[in-house]
Amino acid sequence: MIKKHFKSVTNQECSFYIDDSLSFEGFTSLDLGGYDRLVVIFDKDIPDYFLDTIWKKLLVHNKDLLKLPLEADEKNKSIKQSISIIEELEKNTIGRHDLIISIGGGFTSDLVSFVSSIYMRGIPYIAIPTTLIGQVDAVTAGKTCVNGPQTKNLLGTFYFPSIVYNNISFFKSLPVREMRQGWSEIFKYGLLGSKKLLKLMEEYFSSKSPEILMKIIEETIRVRLKIRQVDPLSSNLGHTFGHAFEKISNYKVSHGDAISIGTLLAIAFGEKMNITRDGLHQELLELMEKFSLNTKFSSDFDASGIASMMLKDKKSSSKLINLVLLEDISKPYYGKSSLFYSVDEKTMKDFIEDYFSDHSERKDKNLYLTLSQ
């Protein structure tokens, strides 16, 4: 098992464990001794084997255990669901001497970390992410969030778990589409700050080695935290496009798939604005296809609707869409006074229309069905 100590951006120490044991041997080394009770908030669809194994490991600590199952649906990542959890915590008189444990993917991590940060102005919690995207992205930056009435991840705080326990055994139960969401974020971090990470991805897709997969998770966490310390907003490469794709599809396009195609559009836009190295879009398109990442868009995507949705993104201003762009791999664009490149809604609408027209061979009328597999 790999154990790493990192400092979070708030200088709060966070320990990351990366385990490959199907029996969760590394879990026994977690220090849970300083808490009165344990509250486990978990995705109810996690296979019974994993949950039963974790329950047995937790019983060793001889503490009262409160279990709160969640239905991991993006529509439940809300203030309403947060209040429902808080009501359970209050009813059971959970306090600061107790520990919350989150078990699940990105949805669960986002929601539980948000609740942990606001309940009693902050209650200790540890995270056990069960998906690839959860292990490399959702819990590594300390960003907690729930969705607003119209905008994804509109509400949130910064709050770190004291421990993140990653175990790649969880991946054995995940469908290909779920793994693809994580690979899209890993690929993005490679573009932002680690050619080593892209090389490791190539090695893994050739060998499927568990050891290389653990190295990928470790390197992604390292890059993720480094980016957060230098300029946290740069991690939003592809996200202004991607969040709009998610919303306009009514979340039929999952986060990672939306970020993949969003990253391609961001690179193409950068080339059009003479910011990004010519030819990078085609290079990345070929690499993404090699990694089986999503490079397609739906035939019913509407350029005007997407541009309008991008203007509502939390990074945008009242009249300008703000984008994170690259000059080249591992070289984010920095303007004169901001990381962002700003563009008006009409210019963006025209660009999207041209992109969809120029790349019509990647238009998929059955995209939602394609991505569900």
Residue 189, domain member (yes or no): no
CATH number of the domain bearing residue 54: 3.40.50.1970
* Helix, strand, coil % over all residues of the chain, rounded to 5: 50, 15, 30
At 232 the pLDDT is 66
The two most distant CA atoms of the chain are separated, in Å, by: 62
- Please, is 320 exposed, middle or buried when counting C-beta atoms within 10 Å of its C-beta (0-12, 13-18, 19+)? middle
> What is the Cα–Cα distance from 113 to 309, expressed in whole angstroms?
27
> What is the Cα–Cα distance from 316 to 334, expressed in whole angstroms?
16
Q: Give the confidence band of 114 by pLDDT, cuts at 50, 70, 90.
A: very high
Residue 222, domain member (yes or no): no
Residue 211, domain member (yes or no): no
Phi-psi region for residue 250, left (φ > 0), alpha (ψ -120 to 50) or beta?
A: left
Mean pLDDT (the chain) is 90
Q: Are residues 238 and 354 in the same domain?
A: yes
The beta strand positions in the chain, using DSSP E, are: 2-7, 13-19, 37-43, 64-70, 99-104, 125-129, 163-167, 297-298, 320-323, 326-328, 331-332, 341-344, 363-364
Residue 19, domain member (yes or no): yes
Which of 129, 150, 174 is at the close of a domain? 174
User: What is the arithmetic mean of pLDDT over 77-104?
Assistant: 95
Model confidence pLDDT, tens digit, residues 228-286: 777 767 788 999 999 999 999 988 999 999 999 999 999 999 999 999 999 999 999 99
Residue 296 vs residues 262, 301, 347: alpha-carbon distances, Å? 10, 11, 22
H-run or E-run covering 86: helix 79-91
Partners of 127 in the β-ladder: 102, 164
Task: Return the higher-pLDDT residue of 299 and 197.
Answer: 197
Q: Are residues 144 and 271 in the same domain?
A: no
Is the CB of residue 37 less than 8 Å from the CB of residue 65? yes
Q: Are residues 279 and 353 in the same domain?
A: yes
User: What is the arithmetic mean of pLDDT over 11-18?
Assistant: 78
User: What is the arithmetic mean of pLDDT over 351-361?
Assistant: 96
At 211 the pLDDT is 94
Residue 201, domain member (yes or no): no
At 182 the pLDDT is 95
Which of 141, 174, 207 is at the close of a domain? 174
Q: Give the up-direction half-sphere exposure of residue 34: CA atoms within 13 A in the CB hemisphere.
A: 6
Give the alpha-carbon dihedral of 276, 220, 148, 267, to 10 degrees.
10
* % pLDDT > 90, the chain: 67
Model confidence pLDDT, tens digit, residues 125-169: 999 999 999 999 877 777 898 988 877 788 899 898 989 999 999
> What is the Cα–Cα distance from 246 to 151, expressed in whole angstroms?
10
> What is the Cα–Cα distance from 291 to 184, expressed in whole angstroms?
9
Domain, as residue range, for 33: 2-174
Counting every residue written for the chain, the total comes to 373
Q: Are residues 142 and 38 in the same domain?
A: yes
Q: Are residues 163 and 249 in the same domain?
A: no
User: What is the arithmetic mean of pLDDT over 292-320?
Assistant: 90
CATH number of the domain bearing residue 346: 1.20.1090.10
Q: Are residues 128 and 56 in the same domain?
A: yes
At 4 the pLDDT is 64
Residue 203, domain member (yes or no): no
Model confidence pLDDT, tens digit, residues 185-217: 999 999 998 999 999 999 999 999 999 999 999
Q: Are residues 156 and 42 in the same domain?
A: yes
Residue 9, domain member (yes or no): yes
Q: Are residues 153 and 251 in the same domain?
A: no
Q: Are residues 142 and 254 in the same domain?
A: no
At 141 the pLDDT is 72
Residue 277, domain member (yes or no): yes
Q: Are residues 56 and 158 in the same domain?
A: yes
Q: Are residues 88 and 169 in the same domain?
A: yes
Q: Are residues 160 and 17 in the same domain?
A: yes
At 11 the pLDDT is 52
Which of 123, 151, 174 is at the close of a domain? 174
| 68 C-beta neighbours (distance < 10 Å), count | 16
Report the number of distinct structural domains present in the chain: 2
Give the alpha-carbon dihedral of 179, 295, 367, 213, to 10 degrees.
-10
